[in-house]
Every structure is written in structure tokens, then in C-alpha cells.
Amino acid sequence: MNDAQYLGTAFAVFAFLAYKLRVLRHTPPDRKPTIRPVCATALLGGLAFFFAAPTVAVNLDHLVQIPNFATLLVHVTGTASVCTIRMMVLYWYYPRERAWRASRWWILGNGLVNTTLVVLFMAGPRIAEYRNIEFPTAAARVPYLREYVLLYLATWIVAECNGALLCMRFASETPADQPRVRRGLRIVAFGFALMMTYLLIVVGAVVARWFDIDLDYWSVRVAPTILSLGGVVATLGVGFVPVASRLDSAKQWLLSHGASVRNYRALRPLWHALRPIDPGMVHKPETLRERFSIESRLFWRVIEINDWLHQIRAHGEPSATGTGATKGMFATPDLTRIRTAALAMTSGSDAAQTSIAEPGGDPSETANAFTSELTHLLALARVFAEDRSTTAITSA
């Protein structure tokens, strides 16, 4: 892998970290422990990929005057990130107290492993400077560094295998009504499996070096690409649940918006036919948001049509009084058809006589009343449009 691949992966993980930190700031206190391991994993994983970039590693080694010091940082941060990933999965599935009890032993064990890695690295001889991906096979026969490499790889293998099995177990135990959590856990497990593949290739190359067999091509060229892919996949699995929820919300908004547009257009002929009754009742938007919100415009269109229908019903009663001009206005062909259709649809029912909602009422009742009224008016609009079309064809 080159600088672009390492740094690109690092910055992608850091971007995810920035997103999670923003989420953490707006998360209730009782849910913050669930997000903190995610942030820690992203920070450590991003640092591991950053220090692994060849340009960064060379300059850092020259700065501290310790060959392969960047490799030590990559291994320490990478091993720590494996620990935080396990914590993250535990906090996903278990209550906070139980997750912490299980996590603290892993934190202690990870601290001991990283301390041992630092001691072995400093005790070993200073060998020529190697890239991070070349170091395991280069140090396969070097005293202390050999043990360093074996401890590092063994820790990763145990942690990745345990993490993958844990994710798959939790995924199988996740209730069916939480499909996103189940998919997210399986994606993380697949990321762990890819990292396991990387580790097995490197272990094979290290063991082969003991027998003078050169498998560096696999450990240097192939394995790091698999590791990078595994890190990205695991990160995607972590972010799958919130991202999928947002995509579902966006999909629901698009469906709702499209339905509102269709309903608004379907009511337009009925609204235009009723408007001459009292044009002053037409609502004028007070803000740009209200002007461009299709939901707001649909709400007011239903209100206006409903009020005009009340006036039609009032003037349609035998006892209704009014001037000849007023009665003539309500005697137009369109309004006559609307009045006839409305009376036919509401015969034996009080549904059309009720208001949409009382101010300050229960929001769920308000929504149900509005939906019921909208359904009634859409049916009336269809009857009106069909009757007008039939009349036009007959008179043609």
C-alpha cells in the first residue's frame, strides 16, 4: 500500500470520528457510554493507518532517532483499537454495567500486552528501518523482536476471532424487530474476518521465514490491502445502524412528500370551483417556509375547502335565507354538483360536519382527524371531477 491508500483510509476513519463526536455532544448522558467506545475505536484506528503511511513513518523515525518507531506506534494503536472494538460490541448488546464489567478485563489485558510490546521492542537490537508491513518478516529471526512479532500477531488473532464470534452470536440473538442491528453486527464480523485473513497471511510468511522460504510478496503486497478493506468494512458496520435509520427516514419523507403533492394537485379542481364563494378565506403564507412547505399548503387547502363546503351546506338547507344574488352564486353548475355530491357522500354520516381538530388537542387525534377529512375531500374531488367530465361529454 502507498501513502494515498493509508492516508485515505485514515482520513475516512477520522471523518467518521468527527461525525460520532458531533453525535456524542447531542446524546443524552445515559447513552454516551455506548458511543464513547466507537469514538475511541475510530481515533485509534485512524492513528494506526496514519502512522503506517510510509512518508509519515520515515519522517517520524528520523524525528525521534529510533528506527521502526512508527511501526511500534502502529502496533500499539492497532492492538488498542481491537480492544475498543470489543468494548463497542459489548456496549451495543449488554446493559452499561454488565458491559463495563466485561470490558475492564480486556482493558487491563490490553494494557499489559502493549506494555510488553514496548519492553520487547526497546530491548531488541536496532535493525534497519523497514516499513510497517515489512517489519514482521524482517524481525522473524531477531531476538526479542521475534517474540514481539509473535505476541503482536497472537493478540490480534485472539481478539479478531473473539470479536467475530461475538458479533455473530449477538446477531443471531438479536430480535427480529431490530434488523439493522443484526446487519450491522454481521458487517462488523465480516470486517473482522477480513482482518483475520490478513493476520493468517502474515503469520504464514513469518513461519516460512524460519525455514528460509520467502513469502514476503503475500505479506507485503496482498495482506495490507485486505487489512485496509477489513478496517473500512468494520467501520461501515459500526455506522450502519444510524446511517440506515437516516436513510429510512429520508425514504419515508420522500414518500410522504410525494403523497402530499399528489393530494394537493387532486384537490385543485375542487378548490378552484369553491373559491368564488369567499376568496377572502384563502390563507396567505406568512413565512417562506410556510410558502414552500407542501404539507402546510395541503393543510390550509383542506381547511379552506372544508369551510366553503360548510357554507354550501348552509345555503342548501330549505330554511336557509339570503339575497337573490347570494342564492344565485350558489346555484352555479359546479357548486350545484359539489353540493349534490357532498350531500350524497355524507348521507347518514356526520363525518363531514366535524372540524379537523380543536386547538391544543391531542396531536394523534389531530393527525387522525386531518387524515379522515383529507380522505373524505379526496373522494369528493374524484366524484366532482367524474361528474363534470360526464356532463362535458354529454353536452358535447
On the question of pLDDT at 317 being above 50, the answer is no
Tell me how many degrees the CA angle 20-4-229 measures, rounded to the nearest 5. Answer: 60
| Phi, psi torsion values for 177, nearest 5 degrees | -85, 5
On the question of pLDDT at 3 being above 50, the answer is yes
Neighbours of 228 (CB within 10 A): 21
How many whole angstroms separate alpha carbon 373 and alpha carbon 17? 47
- Taking alpha carbons only, the member of 165, 186, 161, 160 closest to residue 241 is 186
Q: Which of 90-94, 181-185, 298-302, 327-331 has the lowest mean pLDDT?
A: 327-331
Query: Rounded to an integer, what is the distance from CA 272 to the centroid of its chain?
Result: 42
How many whole angstroms separate alpha carbon 38 and alpha carbon 16? 10
Query: Rounded to an integer, what is the distance from CA 382 to the centroid of its chain?
Result: 40
Neighbours of 155 (CB within 10 A): 22
User: pLDDT tens digit string along 206-247?
Assistant: 999 989 888 888 888 888 889 878 878 887 887 776 677 677
Q: In the chain, what are the domains?
A: 3-239 (1.20.1070), 267-395 (no CATH)
Q: Which of 80-89, 290-299, 327-336 has the lowest mean pLDDT?
A: 327-336
How many whole angstroms separate alpha carbon 70 and alpha carbon 53? 9
Q: Are the C-beta atoms of 3 and 50 separated by less than 8 Å?
A: no
How many whole angstroms separate alpha carbon 151 and alpha carbon 72? 13
Q: What is the mean pLDDT of the chain?
A: 82
What is the percent of the chain where pLDDT is above 90?
A: 26
- What is the residue type of 162? N
On the question of pLDDT at 123 being above 90, the answer is yes
Residue 119 three-state SS = helix
Neighbours of 167 (CB within 10 A): 27
Q: Is 81 left (phi over 0), alpha (psi -120 to 50) or beta?
A: alpha
Q: Are the C-beta atoms of 373 and 387 separated by less than 8 Å?
A: no
